[in-house]
Amino acid sequence: MKTVLTIFGTRPEAIKLAPVIRELTKHQTIKSRICVTAQHREMLDQVLRLFHITPDFDLDLMRPDQDLPSLTAHVITETARVLARERPDIVLVQGDTTTVMAAAMASFYLDIPVGHVEAGLRSGNPRSPFPEEMNRRATTAVSTLHFAPTETARNSLLREGVQDNHIFVTGNPVIDALQFIADQPTPLKAKHLLARGGLNGSGDDPKLILVTAHRRENFGEGLEQIFHGLRNLIERNKDIRIIYPVHLNPNVQDLAYRILGETERIFLTEPLEYGVLGHLMKASYIILTDSGGIQEEAPSLGKPVLVMRTETERPEGIQAGTAKLIGPEAGSIIRETELLLQDKNAYQNMARAVNPYGDGHAAERIVKILLSYDV
């Protein structure tokens, strides 16, 4: 019996690990244990409920105004206690959050192998995205198994000296998760939001633009530019609607409601459960984002993605044409969005591009490797 302890703390981690956890439970030769740090309490709990995940250990580490040094220290200390008690054969982490890096370090200190899901993403700039770029580099340094989503990610790992036989190109399990959600009935909350914008599924509906914007490096001037760009877009294009789930961080909330709060045809909501968000992606015409996961998810639904950042650790989507890097400047946001609204060829070139991030079977590949690999 091989014990696999999966550790995560935020909503994106939970979404991407949910298919892997579900796949682990199918195998009688694996004992699957789950530890959550609850780095993001409320948003994490939404996903746990959606995918029917019950943690064996809930560290509940979220604190008001918690800074990165104190969060890192708490995650290392508390996960180390769980690890010392459980002594799993391998720890699974996903992505690039502070939970990922700190849990990987705690595992390393206790000489427990680490499997890193979504390994090898790189922007090339240590401070962008911050602190994610350094988190994933540090996680790579202490991991034994590297589950790379693409060949580009694999090549990044090889350049850093990771042994080839420790790297496995699996695709990204976020595609597995989204396909699962998209096949479910549309949640009532999604129906209500769409109806508020006059989006009823008829051929003459307005076009929906779904927005996510919360990246730390965009705080301040970047978010101001983004929000002014959205406001101008709505004023210039009467046939569009914008739905924007606003992150709970006050750096995002205060600016969003000050600049966009009274704007007609822009609908600001609380953070949405992943099932609701998945169906809004499905109903959208264009997606504007500064986040990471949506760059991978939306193309599997045939939705063009405009990335409101100056760099991305997901160049495969840019190269494939499913996503376009446009920066956080208002003028660029207006120009590139209106191009897709007005130019059908430009739109179809992005909408029909092949998603490079996977085929919905990443979780099966990851678990198969865990079963066969002697760590």
Q: Which residues are catalytic?
A: 96, 118, 132, 214, 216, 247
Whole-number Å distance between alpha carbons of 246 and 249: 8
Q: Are 143 and 115 in contact (CB under 8 A)?
A: yes
Whole-number Å distance between alpha carbons of 190 and 279: 7
Whole-number Å distance between alpha carbons of 109 and 46: 32
Whole-number Å distance between alpha carbons of 329 and 322: 20
User: Which burial class, exposed, middle or buried, applies to 324 when counting CB atoms under 10 A from its CB (0-12, 13-18, 19+)?
Assistant: middle
Could you give the angle at the alpha carbon of 260 between the alpha carbons of 256 and 261, nearest 5°? 90
Q: Are 280 and 297 in contact (CB under 8 A)?
A: no
Structural element, H or E, at residue 286: strand 286-289
Whole-number Å distance between alpha carbons of 227 and 28: 50
String of DSSP letters for 206-221: PEEEEEE---GGGTTH
CA 261: distance to chain centroid?
26
Q: Which residues contact 320 (CB under 8 A, 6 or more apart)?
A: 299, 353, 354, 355, 356
Instruction: Please provide the size of the chain in residues.
Output: 375
Residue type, 35: C
* HSE-CB for 60 with a 13 A CA cutoff: 2
Whole-number Å distance between alpha carbons of 132 and 148: 16
Q: Are 279 and 329 in contact (CB under 8 A)?
A: no
* HSE-CB for 279 with a 13 A CA cutoff: 19
Whole-number Å distance between alpha carbons of 93 and 310: 27
Whole-number Å distance between alpha carbons of 279 and 269: 15
